[in-house]
Amino acid sequence: MRERIIVSMTSYPARIKNVPLSIFALFNTQTLPPDEVHLFLSVEEFPCKEDDLPAALLIMSHVGMVKIHWVGENTYVHKRHEIFKHVNEGAVFFIDDDVLYNSVLIETVMDVHEKFPNSIVCYNRYDKHRYNGMHIQYGEPAPKGGPYVNEYRWCGQSMIPAQVYPKDLLSDEMKDIRKTASYISDECWFQPWVVYHDIPIYYLSFGWGTDLSKTAGKSSGLVGWSHKKLENGYEYRDMWLNSTLSKFPKLMEKYKRLYHYGE
């Protein structure tokens, strides 16, 4: 018997209108649809809660297609990690609210998951761990396949088996540290813990999906903004990763040992 397929999503006001279509596509275009869809939203961004949501999304909630969870503080993409407070087993898919995915994505990921049950599965190839001082280097993506341990980086478009997720990251103490280290990017926060715990990653090559909106897609959202170069020459992502590593000497030690980080 296969594990339950659990989707975790988040959104914000500029893209919330995309969410009903995104969820509809999961159930109607995927060859293997999800068993559960969970949507995590912040009261800071939707102060009137359900009254601020599209009618189509409310209908989906009422008929059981999606469970809406309300959190107080807006923690950006970190909100989708809240799913691991609710589940201890199952294949948890992080699904973006702004793209349509290949119709065989979930089925393909689950086929890999059956072979490598303790491996994260990234939907697309992602870059090798390479650093020039504090600068994250790009342009050397993983080959399709794996699993690889601590060679290539984790990307947010991925399936994480619930049993391998380090649950201590969800404590209030850790979330307070996260807020000061990498309050927007879960990649810069979660990635070092994937390395620390030696969690293997398998890479597929589905690309990043098809944008649902030409005006509020990836390039115009937080992904594009996080690559903005600051006056000191670093991108936001460089600073967030360095701050996370600096908060935990055990993470910094491993990055220096494996990747000569900071040299």
Query: What is the architecture, at CATH level 2, of domain 5-171+197-213?
Result: Alpha-Beta Complex (3.90)
pLDDT band at 230 (very low <50, low <70, confident <90, very high): confident
Residue type at 245 in one-letter notation? L
Per-residue confidence (pLDDT) for residue 221, from 0 to 100: 63
Ranges of H-type helices in 51-104: 55-62
Burial 86-98 (b: 16+ CB within 10 A, else e): ebeebbbbbbbbb
* DSSP-based three-state secondary structure for 91: strand
Average pLDDT over residues 38-60: 97
pLDDT digits (tens, 9 = 90+) for 193-228: 999 999 999 999 998 778 877 665 555 566 666 777
Average pLDDT over residues 143-172: 96
Burial 128-161 (b: 16+ CB within 10 A, else e): ebbbeebebeeeeebeeebbeebebbbbbbbbbb
Residue type at 257 in one-letter notation? R
Higher pLDDT: 78 or 207? It is 78
Q: What pTM, to 2 d.p., does this model score?
A: 0.94
